[in-house]
Structure 1
Amino acid sequence: MPLHLMTHPEALVVARLDAGAEPDWDWTPGPFASLSRSPQETSVVCLEDVVPAGVLTEGPFRAVEVAGPLAFDAVGVMAEILTPLVPAGISVLALSTYDTDWILVPEGGIAVAEAVWRKAGLIITPTVLTGRSGS
């Protein structure tokens, strides 16, 4: 059965904060949000329009959700998604949640990524704009 990817229309960014810092804004709305920490930094993936001015960001990206839930012992999911993007020169960020995987595609490359995935046999479904409420 081919993988089913769901594209989200909202613009997301990755924001970089200093190590141990907490975001001082509501970063949780939208189709996907994530906070990651390492000894060197705190990174926040969130809607572009909620990040305060002056915060270092990269993006915008479009979120692509793998229809799930995925089993923890599933093998080759990321390879099936990422391999077709290499010849197209599309660099992405991949993140996982308990239930599924998410791919952040640069906004300028989402149309090409969708075409490449369709050609590779993946199912692509656009989702409805969720807005700031996340619903």
Structure 2
Amino acid sequence: MQLQLLPQTFAVCQLQDTSQINWQLPLYFFSKTADELSLVCPEADLPAAVLQCERGWRALKICGTLDFGLVGILAKISGLLAEAGISIFAVSTYNTDYILIKAAHLDKAVTALSINGYQITA
């Protein structure tokens, strides 16, 4: 399976409202629940007002469109990274999944995935 390393460094944030989000930018992951508003975005596009923010994440995108009937793709990747002692933040879209890893652990994550058959491109 092929993974693409995205070039940006990301931030995972909690927001009070959505007024400062520039929805025209190409890459945002947004979620809303009864308890919170969360945003994952490139650090360069981070809104000025956030309640909490965790910076320094890199993202691996699972290449291709994943059929909803597929089982265990994210579980396998997260399991390999867990065995290597690397925590993740996962984001799923309609078509695919993204695995965010702290930048400090990126080389170790790439090694763990590569030795287990994953091809990682930039």
- State the TM-score, normalizing by the size of structure 2: 0.90
Q: Does 1:106 align with 2:90?
A: no
Map 1:1-135; keep pairs closer than 5 Å.
Answer: 3-18=1-16, 21-26=17-22, 29=25, 32-55=27-50, 56-126=52-122
Instruction: Work out whether residues 29 and 47 of structure 1, in 8 Å CA contact, stay in contact via their aligned partners in 2.
Output: no
Whichever residue aligns with residue 6 of structure 1, its letter is: Q
Look up the SS of the partner of 1:86 in the other structure. Answer: helix
Structure 1 residues 90 and 25: CA distance shift in structure 2, 3 A: same
Show CA shifts across 1:87-121 (max 9, x none): 22111111111111111111111111000000111
Alpha-carbon distance in 1 for matches of 2:102, 2:77: 15
In structure 1, runs of 5+ residues without a counterpart are 127-135
Instruction: Work out whether residues 15 and 49 of structure 2, in 8 Å CA contact, stay in contact via their aligned partners in 1.
Output: no
Whichever residue aligns with residue 41 of structure 1, its letter is: E
Show CA shifts across 1:46-94 (max 9, x none): 1112224452211211111001101110011012211111122111111
- Alpha-carbon RMSD across the aligned residues, in angstroms, is 1.6
Figure out how many residues of one structure are paired with residues of the other and give that number: 121
Alpha-carbon distance in 1 for matches of 2:101, 2:72: 19
Instruction: Work out whether residues 5 and 120 of structure 2, in 8 Å CA contact, stay in contact via their aligned partners in 1.
Output: yes
Alpha-carbon distance in 1 for matches of 2:9, 2:111: 20
